[in-house]
């Protein structure tokens, strides 16, 4: 067992870089998706459902790129993961609240 622990050392900086890469790919994708849905809900009443979806999807590329850059600019990989998770929870909660109060579901 100790030889396995010597081969896999999670305190190695390579694991933290790998964790940031995974956070940038999957966490950034989740953040872009949740922000797109939130923007669609915010804009649906003002500009129409299809135009709001189009604007939300176009801004998704910007959110994804910014999230990927932000993951590599924070001090630690843990802070990157928690930041992405926190923003996703906030966006999903706001989307759910908007859907409850405005009645815009689909």
- Tally of domains within the chain: 1
Q: Full-prediction pTM beyond 0.85?
A: no
Tell me whether residue 12 is in a domain.
no
Residue 104 is predicted with a pLDDT of 60
Work out the angle at residue 96's Cα, subtended by the Cα atoms of residues 26 and 43, and round it to the nearest 5 degrees: 90
Kindly state the DSSP code that residue 27 receives in the 8-state scheme. Answer: I
Tell me whether residue 9 is in a domain.
no
Tell me whether residue 6 is in a domain.
no
Q: Per-residue pLDDT tens for 13-57?
A: 788 899 999 999 999 999 999 999 999 999 988 898 899 899 999
Among 43, 65, 66, which Cα is nearest to 53's?
43
Residue range(s) defining the domain that contains residue 90: 28-102
């Amino acid at each position: 067992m100790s030889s396995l622990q010597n081969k896999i050392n999670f305190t190695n900086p390579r694991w933290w870089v790998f964790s940031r890469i995974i956070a940038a790919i999957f966490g950034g994708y989740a953040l872009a998706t949740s922000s797109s849905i939130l923007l669609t809900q915010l804009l649906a009443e003002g500009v129409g459902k299809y135009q709001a979806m189009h604007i939300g999807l176009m801004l998704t590329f910007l959110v994804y790129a910014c999230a990927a850059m932000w993951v590599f600019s924070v001090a630690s990989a843990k802070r990157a993961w928690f930041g992405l998770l926190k923003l996703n929870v906030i966006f999903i909660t706001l989307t759910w609240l908007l859907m409850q109060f405005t009645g815009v579901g689909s």
